[in-house]
Amino acid sequence: MGTVLPSGLALALALALALPSLALENGLARTPPMGWMSWERFRCDVDCQADPRNCISEQLFMEMADRLAEDGWRELGYEYVNIDDCWSAKQRDAAGQLAPDPKRFPSGIKALADYVHARGLKLGIYADLGVFTCGGYPGTMLEHVKQDAQTFAAWGVDMLKLDGCYSSAEEQAKGYPEMARALNATGRPIVYSCSWPAYQGGLPPKVNYTILAEICNLWRNYDDIQDSWDSVLSIVDWFFTNQDVLQPAAGPGHWNDPDMLIIGNFGLSYEQSRSQMALWTVMAAPLLMSTDLRTISPSAKEILQNRLMIQINQDPLGIQGRRIVKEKSHIEVFLRPLSQAASALVFFSRRTDMPFRYTTSLAKLHFPEDAVYEVQDVYVGKIVGALKTADNFTVVINPSGVVVWYLRPVALPLQPWHVVRQQAPGKGFHPALL
């Protein structure tokens, strides 16, 4: 076993006490934002002549909004429709304002926002603090920060991702807080996603997570995700290797963002898709899908629409989880403490041979002595049974796959900091009591 952590309960307590007192208080993103974002799947495809169905155009965002509203996504919390790079014209307009490409967004962004809002959804947009966006479109230089914030607010935008291509560290240190103030000054609630740390290596001393939590609702810490398992693994490795820095930075209103979900695309197997969903959930990550919702397979949809998984991701305590075990056998165990003394455990296999029988106990995972938990397998959906801390158990984990457990205490040893809730396990068990 590797790193040792206190029990889920003790961890929850310690973290609750350690929450930073200062955080961005715009009342938004109290749980990790959920929705859809164009970048990973649709990139900077602007050739609507050759590829009308997939190019970055108002049509694409309207069709995704329709799918979110009609295919059960919105009710589960997937509410943001986020435009990424390559939406704008190649030049600012005569008034110096950002303007959408007139061919691809003939109705304008305001009309698109209205369309999205009419479906009970929210609209996100993209800008870049710099000379150009990463895709070469007009950037938001320091002198444009206020104007662009006002433009987005006037259009009815609900979320802004501010990227950082083509700007210096000094410009970023000025511009990211300035945009926070400019968004606030518009009076419109706009979730603010900062790519700032990703451009500064993601770690102290260059990155100050206290400051980030004061100005941003979420931030991209690390590299862009690509459509491959290698990319997912590199992100997972970086986030959990640096969990001592990153994990305490997250909380209601301010989240680490390991980037989009690529489930439903081309690079992940079924097992790997389940792993990305589970590991993003443990990380309290935003659930921003970047896939074609018009053609998504039933199995990918089922993973992304797993109610209990989403409930865990959206837990109101907002405590990011940690890797608590790294075995020589290439099995890793992750724990996320949840409200009402519940926890999520993810058993992850990095093996490449065959399903692995992993035996452990809650005692070995530092759960409190003499407790009893009702265990539900999050993907299988079934209640596994009641488990005492001392009981040995075995989970069978597929190669590059996960087993995910939701543990709800049915009996806890008396501890001074919380009320013990006794509930009979069995048929009437409802995990959704938050």
Ligand X SMILES: *[C@@H]1O[C@H](CO)[C@@H](O)[C@H](O)[C@H]1NC(C)=O
What is the side-by-side order of every strand in the sheet holding 34-37?
Answer: 255-257, 218-220, 191-194, 159-163, 122-128, 80-82, 34-37, 287-289
- 3-11, 25-33, 101-109, 129-137 -> range binding ligand X (CB under 6 A): 25-33
Nearer to ligand X, 62 or 363 (CB): 363
Question: Residue 289 — left, alpha, or beta (φ > 0 → left; ψ -120 to 50 → alpha)?
Answer: beta
Of the candidates 51, 237, 369, 391, which one interacts with ligand X according to CB under 6 A?
391
Q: Does 150 bind ligand X (CB under 6 A)?
A: no
**Burial code of 189-204, b = ≥16 C-beta within 10 A, e = fewer?**
ebbbbbbbbbbbebee
Q: Does 25 bind ligand X (CB under 6 A)?
A: yes
Cα pseudo-dihedral 386, 388, 389, 391, rounded to 10: -100
Of the candidates 1, 118, 169, 390, which one interacts with ligand X according to CB under 6 A?
390
Count Cα neighbours of 299 within 13 Å in the Cβ-side half-sphere.
Answer: 8
Q: Does 27 bind ligand X (CB under 6 A)?
A: yes
What is the smallest separation between the CB atom of 183 and ligand X, expressed in angstroms? 6
Contact 219, 256 (CB under 8 A): yes
- 24-32, 124-132, 222-230, 249-257 -> range binding ligand X (CB under 6 A): 24-32
Q: Structure tokens of 374? A: 């009702």
Residues in the interface with ligand X (CB under 6 A) total 15
What is the smallest separation between the CB atom of 194 and ligand X, expressed in angstroms? 15
Active site members: 163, 224
- 121-129, 285-293, 300-308, 386-394 -> range binding ligand X (CB under 6 A): 386-394
- 283 SS3 class: coil
Contact 320, 284 (CB under 8 A): yes
Contact 128, 166 (CB under 8 A): yes
Q: Which residues contact 430 (CB under 8 A, 6 or more apart)?
A: none
Nearer to ligand X, 264 or 368 (CB): 368
Q: Structure tokens of 222? A: 């690390």
- 132-140, 237-245, 374-382, 388-396 -> range binding ligand X (CB under 6 A): 388-396
What is the smallest separation between the CB atom of 87 and ligand X, expressed in angstroms? 23
What is the smallest separation between the CB atom of 65 and ligand X, expressed in angstroms? 24
Check residue 223 and report its DSSP letter: P
Alpha carbon 85 to its chain centroid, in Å, reads: 19
Nearer to ligand X, 1 or 433 (CB): 1
Of the candidates 339, 392, 426, 434, which one interacts with ligand X according to CB under 6 A?
392
Nearer to ligand X, 210 or 295 (CB): 210
What is the smallest separation between the CB atom of 28 and ligand X, expressed in angstroms? 7
What is the smallest separation between the CB atom of 192 and ligand X, expressed in angstroms? 9
What is the smallest separation between the CB atom of 422 and ligand X, expressed in angstroms? 23
**Phi and psi for 397 in degrees, rounded to 5?**
-110, 125
Nearer to ligand X, 205 or 298 (CB): 205
Q: Does 51 bind ligand X (CB under 6 A)?
A: no
Contacts of ligand X in 170-209 (CB under 6 A): 184, 187-189, 204-205, 208
Neighbours of 292 (CB within 10 A): 17
Contact 62, 70 (CB under 8 A): no
Q: Does 75 bind ligand X (CB under 6 A)?
A: no
Q: Does 357 bind ligand X (CB under 6 A)?
A: no
What is the smallest separation between the CB atom of 391 and ligand X, expressed in angstroms? 6
Nearer to ligand X, 52 or 204 (CB): 204
β-strands 392-397, 356-361 pairing = antiparallel
Q: Does 329 bind ligand X (CB under 6 A)?
A: no
Question: CA angle, corner 233, sides to 227 and 235, nearest 5?
Answer: 85
Q: Does 234 bind ligand X (CB under 6 A)?
A: no
Q: Return residues touching ligand X (CB under 6 A).
A: 25-27, 184, 187-189, 204-205, 208, 210-211, 390-392
